[in-house]
């Protein structure tokens, strides 16, 4: 986590091996891996429940459901207003 000038960047990963997330981060930021081709959905943060539903997580019932896509990588856009459910 990096904190500067009241801005907050949170970088996280699930199920990564020791050091693999840092390696992936460097490969993406250096341009060696085209991250824009890896992200399947960009969802406003206000619509986070829809984003989790896309991944197969029904937050209202706290259960897993079938995913909406056979493979997906969801990016939450913190700058977009969204629908603000």
Q: Domain locations in the chain?
A: 1-35, 39-85
**Distance of alpha carbon 56 from alpha carbon 28, whole angstroms:** 26
- To the question of pTM greater than 0.75 for the whole model, the response is no
Is residue 3's pLDDT more than 60? no
CA atoms within 13 A on the CB side of 62: 0
At 6-29, the pLDDT tens digits run: 565 666 656 566 778 788 889 989
């Amino acid at each position: 986590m990096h904190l500067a000038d009241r801005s907050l960047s949170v970088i996280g990963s699930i199920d990564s091996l020791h050091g693999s997330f840092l390696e992936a981060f460097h490969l993406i930021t250096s341009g060696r891996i085209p991250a824009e081709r890896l992200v399947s959905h960009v969802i406003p943060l206000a619509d986070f429940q829809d984003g989790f539903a896309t991944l197969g997580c029904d937050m209202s019932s706290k259960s897993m459901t079938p995913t909406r896509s056979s493979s997906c990588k969801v990016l939450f856009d913190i700058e977009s207003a969204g629908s603000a459910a």
